[in-house]
Each structure stands twice: as C-alpha cells, then as structure tokens.
Amino acid sequence: MAGLPGHAATRRRLIVGAATLAALRAVPAAAALPSTPGQTEGPFYPLELPLDSDNDLVRVEGRPERASGTILHLGGRVLDQGGRPVRGARVEIWQCDAFGVYHHPGDRQGPADPDFQGFGATTATDDGGYRFRTIEPVPYPGRTPHIHFKIAGPGFEPLTTQMYVAGHPQNERDFLYRRLDPKARDLVTVALVPAPDLEPSAKSGARRASFDIVLGVVT
C-alpha cells in the first residue's frame, strides 16, 4: 500500500493523537475510599480513663482471672481516602462487658465485670495497623451488639464510630444502625469468624474480626 502524502499523514497523526488524549481524559481517576461513617459517642465513654487501658481488655493488671465472655481478636488498619496508612493514629475502643454492663457510673444495671477493662487504646503502626484483644460484643437494653471506636489521626478530624456484628438478628431493630444507609452499614458491619488457634486454652474458643477505618476529614 502506498504511503499517505505528507500532509495527510500528519493530519491523521494529529487526529489519532487528539482522540487518544480525549479517551485518556474520559477515564475517571481512581475513586477515593469511602470514609468510615461517624456515629454518636453514646453516654458511656469513660469519665476517667482506667489506669490499665492497654490493647488487651481481657486481662486487668493485678487480677488473676480473665474477663467473662468469648475472646475476640480485633484488628485492622487506619487509612486515608487514598488508601495510605495513617501512622501514629490513636485508636480507642470501649464496650459493655459480657453481662451487658458498662464500666461507667451512669450504667445502673449492676456492677461491671471487674476482670474486664471496658476501655482500651493503642497506636497505629507504620502500616496503619492496630489490634485489640477484647470480648465479642453482646446486646444491652435497646442496642444490638457493638463496639465504640474513637480515632484521632495526625492531620485529621477525630472520628467516633461504632462497629457492628454481621448477621446479628438485632441489627435491623437498632435505631442507630437503621439510621445508616446500606452502603454506610457495610462499612461498619464486620464478620466474626472462629479462631481457636489464637486461644487454644479458651473453653468457648475465640473469634477474630478485621475492621479497617478510613479517615476522611482533613484538618
């Protein structure tokens, strides 16, 4: 096939180049990760942080027994909307004990389990990772099982949210859970899976869960 005349070939290259550039511009940028939805702190954030407030809520310093309930190994990563780790983020959790009682003077249901911390805190590692050893959350009057989270990452507005248990029958009756739209629910609903290898001595076995947190509001 004979080659195109010089002007025609140049024109064709310009047209093809323009079409390619237009196509590239039409490709959307990688979507940002959806930020974890905020939720109410609730009435039972500790008035004073306990002396023992590490990331193992199952053991209280100075007490020989572990907390009642099924042990849960809970971990994940703290990320920004670009998927980058938020190093040094402070991650706090608090929850009721295995009997549905918070370590808080405002909870008048009964004495809280003295072998359960009720509150714990840790710092995200260089890859944004965090972990806690706690108990599987249980219901208390008016609420489905959940764990409260508060995250303060460098350069981000603090986030308070709650983590829920996938498939729990009380989820759909929980007023705070129902306020979330379906996509937001997916972001805070986590499957708990058996993990007997992590606690071989625990009679009731143990569970593990992974909950990634995405911070979205930059200061």
Residue 124's nearest CA partner among 167, 89, 158, 96 is 89
**CATH code (residue 99):** 2.60.130.10
Q: Are the CB atoms for 207 and 194 separated by under 8 Å?
A: yes
| pLDDT at residue 200, as a whole number | 78
Mean pLDDT of all residues in 95-105: 96
How much of the chain exceeds pLDDT 90, in percent? 76
| pLDDT at 84 > cutoff 80 | yes
Q: Are the CB atoms for 78 and 89 separated by under 8 Å?
A: yes
SS (H, E, C) the chain: CCCCCHHHHHHHHHHHHHHHHHHHHHCCCCCCCCCCCCCCCCCCCCCCCCCCCCCECCCCCCCCCCCCCCEEEEEEEEEECCCCECCCCEEEEECCCCCCCCCCCCCCCCCCCCCCCCEEEEECCCCCEEEEEEECCCCECCECCEEEEEEECCCECCEEEEEEECCCCCHHHCHHHHHCCHHHHHHHEECCEECCCCCCCCCCCEEEEECCEEECCEC
- Is 26 contained in some domain? no
| pLDDT at residue 199, as a whole number | 86
Mean pLDDT of all residues in 82-106: 97
Domain that holds residue 129: 71-215
| pLDDT at residue 217, as a whole number | 86
Mean pLDDT of all residues in 76-83: 98
| pLDDT at 28 > cutoff 80 | no
- Is 42 contained in some domain? no
- Is 56 contained in some domain? no
| pLDDT at residue 54, as a whole number | 96
Segment 158-213, tens digit of pLDDT: 999 999 999 999 999 999 999 999 999 999 999 999 998 898 776 768 999 999 99
- Is 100 contained in some domain? yes
Domain count, the chain: 1
pLDDT classification of 110: cutoffs 50, 70, 90: confident
CA distance 73 to 198: 8
- Is 168 contained in some domain? yes
| pLDDT at residue 205, as a whole number | 83
Mean pLDDT of all residues in 9-30: 43
- Is 182 contained in some domain? yes
CA distance 86 to 77: 8
- Is 110 contained in some domain? yes
- Is 38 contained in some domain? no
Instruction: Look over the chain and give the mean of its residue pLDDT values, rounded to a whole number.
Output: 88
Q: Are the CB atoms for 170 and 100 separated by under 8 Å?
A: no
| pLDDT at residue 9, as a whole number | 45
pLDDT classification of 6: cutoffs 50, 70, 90: low
